[in-house]
A and B are shown apart, each in its own frame.
Chain A
Amino acid sequence: MNLFRSVPLWSLRFAALFLLSLTISQAQTASAQSAQSKKGAAQASTPVLNKYPPAVVDSGASLFQQNCAFCHGKDASGGESGPDLTRSKLVKDDRDGDKIGPVVRNGRPEKGMPPFNFSDSQIAGLTAFIHTQQAAATSRKGGRKGVDVADLQTGNADAGKQYFNGAGGCSSCHSPSGDLAGVASRYEGLELEEQMLYPKNAKAKVTVTPPSGETIKGTLEYLDEFTIGLIDPAGVYRSWRTSDVKYQVDPSLNAHVELFSKYTDRDIHNLMAYLQTLR
């Protein structure tokens, strides 16, 4: 799936970046543009390098160092708590800052990223810097920093299957022909391993019983000590004071947490090897 999708997206990205460079690079001549894009087409892995005016990249780099580097690293390849942007799908899919801009401006409060009140030209600079870094990192074949799919191939698939059906207890909730059919086509590498260890974006099912006795099932949307909110089957958000209702959050995700203290690193690598056979 990833491979299937990456080809058309990649070429779209290239086209978009070319357009972006046209809009922000008034100083450059049309012939220079053309020469650069030909060079980019010839070296497929480095299409973006030199396509942004250095002044725009530099201003983006400076803003990035001041505001983003702590979490995402000075070279955008990951720092404290923030993901490696040079391997980010959102960055790959971004055109003209259309994906990066909203994330920067709105933040990702659920992941601890605050919003930043940047102007359009500042977003353009950040976008130029991040894309430039991504292109540079991608071109470093063989010696690339960060987590490659190839790094995660140290396990044994048979042992992983055994763990899945045995000690790990995975098969009590999951099935290779059911929910996990084709999982290795939906995710790969680090993303697959993260999903395997704990599916962060999974929404828990919840059942709420108000004093009236009528039970409402839905997807848990909000829960603190004082308020519970769910999205009901009709897609409507409903909430109650926790003191007024009984509620039960589906505990199946806890099985992932319980495994953390039981796994050996080898178990994890074996499970990864097994999951990667489920294409």
Chain B
Amino acid sequence: MKFVKTIVFLAASALVGMQSSSLMCAQGVNAQILLHPPADTWPGYHGDYSGRRHSALTEITPQNVKNLSLAWAFQTRQTAEIKSSPLLVDGILYFTVPDNIWAVDARSGHEIWHYTYPPNKGLHIGHRGVGMYKGYLFFLSPDAHLVSLNAKDGSVRWKVTVADVTQGYWTTMAPLVVGNHVLVGVSGDFDNLSGFIRSIDPETGATQWQWDSTPPVGTPHQTTGGMTWMTGTYDPDLNLAYWGTGNPTPVLNGTTRPGDDLYTCTIVALNPDTGKLVWSFQVSPHDTHDWDAVETPVLVDADFRGEPRKMLMQTSRNGYFFVLDRTNGKNLLTAPFGPVNWSLGVDPQGRPIPNPAKEPAPDGRLIAPDEGGMTNYRSPSFDIKNGLFIVDAHPSWSIYFAKPADGVYGWAGADYDVWGKGVIEAIDYQTGKIRWSHYLGPEGSGAGVLTTDSGLSFTGDALGNFLALDSSDGKTLWHAGSGSRIQSSPITYELDGRQYVVTSSGSVLFAWALPPAN
């Protein structure tokens, strides 16, 4: 009964969501906008809290998408590739590369302001974007600071240290704003460090709580690692924040950390008000292949084999697709979504059992998938109409090495990609079977997936083409060559009655729309 009520509530809120927030004369975001994003917003990394990266917009359809054309492009004039998802609030897009934030007019691509973080020694591998609360932006720097800025002009309100860059931490993720909590995570795989999620007060920058994913560094026979480098999701009804944790360290050598290495490679459910762990599900016990479980924990309310369920789904880097009951973390389905040769099967709790013979070795072990994994930080999307979990997958093989001379610190081994390809896979969430797949080219694509209610999947191939696919069968309906690699996930919004799709490739942001009627 409660479930039925929730469905009605969600449907009603979706209708509200279709209205324009400009009627509310919004300045920044509030809890209502984050809970039920209006059509002319994209207020968080995933859009809404569910991580489905699915939009109710239907102006662009399988029939007319062939007419999709460039509305504008924005050039960052930098060599850093865009890996962020822009936020859209009050008609302004906010997006990032390491050390840089831009505020850009979503109607024209005109730059409103550009913030540059001072030179620093952090790792500049990528950046996923900003979080927003009221009229404030929250930006994590390569040297692991959280900066709060005024969205109207990019001026800095305050800056606080999240972790010590000199120990080997850095930060790249887009903070998740829940209520009056700014939830942030950290990166740092090249040193033996503890991962954590921290809740920070959006007004003051003060720490509210911190949850550590691994025991303190130096605890005998215990793992370090469990970095928290991707944005989680949130269920307001259960008041649970869901987060994936990264791999253990030392990365490729597990001898100093016997056992499961909790809570690395784990999906955790935390109370966002207290940081208390409510449940956990480990997708890779005792990982020795760098397979973070940080891929989007996607929240779906639907029937599972005839029973209404509140589910959490993840296509994990280790090659398995998981469906969990997100009220308690119990496993409903575990199924590989590509070649996997490192496990001895699945245990009664639904966790893959690592095969000791497939741990990295001095003379090498052939492993599927490769170290980048069957998928990575790029977002998947869930299309409820077709019952499909659509993901940019990377079937792949590699060789893994580790020997005593590699030590027990940081990487502690070596791995080499042998072969891989990119494929969009549409997974039937009730069986794990792949209903359709769409080849993207050799090696793989870095593009995420966005689906819409009209039945479209937006993504990109391995050669830099933006693609619009038919969500029901994966057929290509539209494409545009972008001239560079695609490393981000698309978003969509409606402004002035016109639907835009925003993608990026290389250092350029592209906005696409149907030609205006007149």
The residues of A with any CB-CB pair to B shorter than 8 Å are 62, 65-67, 69-70, 73-74, 77-81, 83-84, 109-112, 114-117, 143-147, 151-154, 190, 193-194, 197-198, 200, 222-226, 256-257, 260-261, 263, 265, 268-269
Contacts and interface: CB of A to CB of B under 8 A. Distances in A.
A200 B339 CA distance: 20
Interface string B415-429: 011110000000000
B401 interface: yes
A67 B124 CA distance: 5
Contacts of B417: 81
A264 B271 CA distance: 46
Contact of A151 (B339, B372, B397, B401): B401
14 contacts: A62-B121, A66-B124, A69-B123, A74-B410, A79-B190, A80-B189, A80-B372, A117-B78, A152-B363, A153-B363, A198-B397, A225-B479, A260-B419, A261-B368
Nearest to A144: B405
B414 A70 contact: no
Contact of A65 (B123, B341, B405): B123
A interface secondary structure, majority: loop
Given A112-B485, A116-B79, A145 B406 contact: yes
Contacts of B484: 109
B290 A80 contact: yes
Interface residues of B, number: 50
Interface string B400-414: 010101110011001
B405 A112 contact: no
Contact of A197 (B363, B399, B411): B399
B364 A268 contact: yes
Contacts of B277: none
Given A78-B414, A81-B372, A223-B441, 12 more contacts: A66-B122, A77-B414, A80-B290, A114-B81, A144-B405, A151-B362, A194-B416, A194-B418, A222-B463, A224-B465, A260-B419, A269-B363
B401 A66 contact: no
Contacts of A115: 79
Nearest to B479: A226
Q: Name the residue in B120, B168, B463 with the highest tally of chain A Cβ atoms < 10 Å from its Cβ.
A: B463
Contact of B463 (A84, A197, A224, A268): A224
Interface of B: 78-81, 120-125, 142, 168, 189-190, 290, 339, 341, 357, 361-366, 368, 371-372, 397, 399, 401, 403, 405-407, 410-411, 414, 416-419, 441, 443, 461, 463, 465, 476, 479, 484-485
Contacts of A154: 362-363
Nearest to A73: B411
A146 B414 contact: yes
B312 to A, nearest CB: 27
Kindly list the 7 A-B residue pairs having the minimum CB-CB distance in the complex, ordered from nearest.
A70-B125, A154-B363, A198-B419, A143-B405, A224-B463, A260-B397, A117-B79
A248 to B, nearest CB: 16
Given A80-B189, A225-B465, A190 B441 contact: no
A74 B122 CA distance: 12
A59 to B, nearest CB: 12
A26 B472 CA distance: 67
B339 to A, nearest CB: 6
A78 B190 CA distance: 11
Nearest to B191: A74
A78 B476 contact: no
A78 B411 contact: yes
A19 B365 CA distance: 42
Nearest to A62: B121
Contacts of A110: 443
A115 B78 CA distance: 10
